Amino acid sequence: MYRIIVIVLTVGVLACASASAWVYPEHRDIAVAAVLKLDSARRVHLDSLWSWARIGHETRLPSSIVIPELPEQPNYIDWGAWPAIGGDHSCSPSQMLETVLNTEWILDVARITEHFKRELLAAKHQAKRLNALRDQDLQLQRADPEYATRAGSNNVHFLLARTSVSTSPRVYLEGSLSQGGEINALAVYIWYHYRAMAKISQLRSPGLTEVQRNQIALAALADEAFGIHFLEDVYAAGHVAGTWGNASLRKGTHDYYNEHGYETHTWAGKPVVLMGDAYMRPEDIEAPAHAVRISLEQFVDAFRGVDPYAGHEFNDREIEGLFMTEPDTLNVCQNNDIPGKIASSELMPQYVSVIQHTPMPALKAGYGELPRFRTELGGFIGIAPFVRGAGWDGGFDPVQTSALGIASLGMNLRLGLGLDGVTSEAGDGLVFIEFGIAHDNASTANFSTDSALADYGDVLAAIPSRSSFTTRIRMPFYVIPGDLILGALLIAPFSLQTYTQMAVVAGNGGVIPWQSGIATDFGRFQFILGREVGVNFYGFGSGSQKILVPYQDDESNQLAELLDLRSIQVEAPIVEWRPFRTFSVDQSSSMVVQFYGAADIPVYWKSHLTPPTTYDLKTRWGLGVRVAFDWRYYY
């Protein structure tokens, strides 16, 4: 069990790091807007670079570098989409280019995300938006199985926190770029942007063959696009709001500010309200597109060889690995530290001229820090008081066939692991185990059908009031209930990657995602059959529990006999409704209504007469509703 918890926890931490800044269509829209904003002289140069780059790839790469309005089913990938694929669907420019040019699944990604973009435009309610996001995430996970797990646990899509209020953009940037420091969005942007400029500047040298020229143009465009992904990321509220703390705090803060927005200034002093991740408004394109445009201007200028690039020597004495004709291979999913010298400091003013249009990040931990939030990620303890009521097909005695009802009150202690929102709000990675006690009232029906006994009420109930030990377990599954436990033993030791993907799919509703949550204006619904099971043990404590059963003595007198009884009642919830849920920094509370099927199986009974009477007790079947208050404290 410990092993499973550790592995599932790993999944949560990995998945949390994959928190994206913008969804695919948003990343793409920013890049497209930036290209459209370029002045015509530079645009002509960029277009000719594109026309060289696409030679030999004419079916995959459209003739125009950006296609402002995509068709519903695009069968090509324009350059505008490259920054959306970089970072989120690939780990390096080299991987990104391979994916763009040579895989079929990336076309599926383009179609899924285009469909999602249209859904989002049409969505009027928050519930619709959440469901569209859920559908997209599930489809993307199928098209690109590494989608949720690709990103490592680093902060590469985020900005470093600002250390003091007096930090200038240049000092902040130098701090972000220092070799050996923590990897961050600006560091990798400058890393690829510099290499893109270095590559493209080679086209100025005479004597290149046409093949070399095309290859360099393609590689340089890939580096620039991959870098731009991270330049766009720094405009997402959740990526600016401060990234320290544990996984739960980082993910919670990220999600909160992406949804609710964050007011700040750019380094140049322009006030901005930032949003993120499927919450981009049309006016939010403006600021990042402006910075991306300046980056593209520098890229084109390096190609043309105008100042300051005319006098700048891009050489590999200072920066390792330049002058390659291939796209860069620095892997952002695996490197947690800045691995080498990022770029020549000679072009610092150029970098600053891009960065000054980016938002100032929030302060580091300490006085003046921004309020931060957690998500339901990590271990928790909780209590879950509940009431339930069920209708049953009769008593244990086969002669007791009249339907009866039983209501109970109970209280469970809970120990668990929250992985809620592993990839979206539709996900449910909740794993817990509960122990507690419950008390049932007497059944509504009498043990005997004799109408003369009807007035004795509870005293002669078919099933008297009794109490039970209760236990409950919940865990998502991939195909069949419990398979994550088998997987932890049989698959995880050989491929943690495969197991992680399996767990993410399970958390999001399974292979056929019939268990993923459905958001509505009046709460969240979810099919949970097989995901949760409750077991109640009756008569296992000190003192036997007894029931009355009809007994006929030797003279044919109708009497009753008391039987000792132990039974095990299994409860399988089918559908769950969560009308509300609130979450503070470290605790959550919600109400859960579950509709369940149950079986009450007699496992032991004993007659006290001599000789003992023999009875053949039967399993009872029931349907019920359980309402639980669910309080958790996360530690």
- Binding residues (CB under 5 A) for Zn ion: these are 21, 87, 157, 233
Nearest residue to Zn ion by CB is 157
Is 20 within 8 Å of 157 (Cβ atoms)?
yes
Task: Output the smallest distance, CB 504 to Zn ion, in A.
Answer: 18
Is 66 within 8 Å of 78 (Cβ atoms)?
yes
Task: Output the smallest distance, CB 378 to Zn ion, in A.
Answer: 23
Question: Strand runs (DSSP E) across 399-531, as ranges?
Answer: 404-419, 431-440, 466-474, 518-520, 523-527
- Residue number, 87 or 327, with CB nearest to Zn ion: 87
Q: Angle between the 24-37 and 105-122 helix axes, to the nearest 10 degrees?
A: 90
Cα(578)–Cα(584) distance, integer angstroms: 17
Cα(522)–Cα(219) distance, integer angstroms: 51
- Residue number, 21 or 278, with CB nearest to Zn ion: 21
Q: Please, is 93 exposed, middle or buried when counting C-beta atoms within 10 Å of its C-beta (0-12, 13-18, 19+)?
A: buried
Tell me what percent of the chain is helix, strand and coil, each rounded to the nearest 5. Answer: 35, 25, 40
- Residue number, 157 or 374, with CB nearest to Zn ion: 157
Is 520 within 8 Å of 580 (Cβ atoms)?
no
Task: Output the smallest distance, CB 369 to Zn ion, in A.
Answer: 23
- Residue number, 87 or 416, with CB nearest to Zn ion: 87
H-state helical runs in 491-531: 496-507
- Residue number, 185 or 463, with CB nearest to Zn ion: 185
What are the angstrom distances between the C-alpha of 337 and each of 155, 178, 249, 332? 10, 10, 21, 10
Task: Output the smallest distance, CB 282 to Zn ion, in A.
Answer: 21
| 141: nearest Cα among 426, 495, 430 | 426
Task: Output the smallest distance, CB 426 to Zn ion, in A.
Answer: 21
Task: Output the smallest distance, CB 586 to Zn ion, in A.
Answer: 28
Task: Output the smallest distance, CB 233 to Zn ion, in A.
Answer: 4
- Residue number, 233 or 483, with CB nearest to Zn ion: 233
Task: Output the smallest distance, CB 530 to Zn ion, in A.
Answer: 35
H-state helical runs in 423-558: 483-490, 496-507
- Residue number, 251 or 632, with CB nearest to Zn ion: 251
- Residue number, 361 or 517, with CB nearest to Zn ion: 361
Alpha carbon 567 to chain centroid distance?
41
